[in-house]
Amino acid sequence: MEMVVRQPAVEGAFYPGTPEAVSAMVERCFSAAKRPAVAGTVVALVCPHAGYIYSGAAAASAWLAVPDGDGRDCLVLVGPNHTGLGGAVSVAAADAWRVAGVLYPVDRELARELCALLPGASRDDAAHLMEHSLEVQLPFAARRLAPGFSIVPVCLGVRPDEFGLQVCLELGNALARCLEDRRALILASTDMSHYLSDAAARREDEPAIQAVLRMDPAGLVRVVRERRISMCGVMPTAAVIRAAAGLGASRAFLADYRTSAEASGDYDRVVSYASFALTADEG
């Protein structure tokens, strides 16, 4: 049977169009990153997903919390659905994803197990075909995880309401059960505020940042809904907080916070980016 490979959707747009140029740009992102002060073993990351010139350094800052050559051989990625295609919880059905010339195998057994544990989840590539939020994470992961690591991409298309929160909590619980005996890392993909002034974005983002730092998924969803914060990946972040807590994480650290103004020079209309590391006590 022929291998089904999901092809890149935003190559040449969010990141360069050749493997060599992607490698060089990711290197520049790590050079511009802030090395976060974290304690414990990293269980999960929260990273932004814009074009690398805007959010790449913030994403790299979170990845610097993961030891180089970390040894984990699976990455579960949970991101928002920007296209409206697919279902509420769409787990990639392809055999592999190709990004920047690298083939990332999908852990089909883990994907099947996740769907078996979570009613309403489906093996569905429609939500992933044109979605950028998970694709852009993989060249960063390739710099820190074990060579040949597998992936399980999950696209989450639920709103920040009570039903959506329940779906997120159930997804988090299912992920924790699936991964309790696995050497895996979890990643939520999100940007923060969109198209506010730099000052307004920083002000509006603060309560959402504090909810992540408290590892409070319900509080995060509530504050984003009530304050109408345009955090596109709030639901994936809530799900990953629950999953990380189920795997022993008890603390969250802000790795970096930036806005697009640092790259564009436009402080009147920005997108903001926060990255986090969620950790468990060692031992």
pLDDT at 196 over 80: yes
Q: What is the mean pLDDT of residues 117-129?
A: 94
Paired tokens of 106: 């999908």
| Residue 255 and residue 220 in contact, taking contact as beta carbons nearer than 8 Å | no
Distances 19 to 74, 252, 269 between C-alpha atoms, Å: 22, 33, 31
Q: What is the mean pLDDT of residues 13-27?
A: 96
Residue 70's pLDDT is 85
pLDDT at 254 over 90: yes
pLDDT at 229 over 90: yes
- pLDDT tier at 78, thresholds 50, 70, 90: very high
How far apart CA 175 and CA 162 sit, in angstroms, is 20
pTM of the model: 0.97
Residue 77's pLDDT is 98
Long-range contacts, stretch 142-145, CB < 8 angstroms, 24+ apart: 142/102, 143/26, 143/30, 143/63, 143/68, 144/63, 144/66, 144/67, 144/68, 144/69, 144/70, 145/66, 145/70, 145/71, 145/72, 145/73, 145/75, 145/185
| Residue 275 and residue 189 in contact, taking contact as beta carbons nearer than 8 Å | no
Q: What is the mean pLDDT of residues 141-154?
A: 95
Paired tokens of 128: 């992933």
> Residue 271 — φ and ψ, nearest 5°?
-115, 140
Contacts of 268 (CB under 8 A, 6+ apart): 197, 198
Residue with the larger pLDDT of the pair 104 and 71: 104
Q: What is the mean pLDDT of residues 230-258?
A: 98
| Residue 91 and residue 5 in contact, taking contact as beta carbons nearer than 8 Å | no
pLDDT at 119 over 90: no
Residue 249's pLDDT is 98
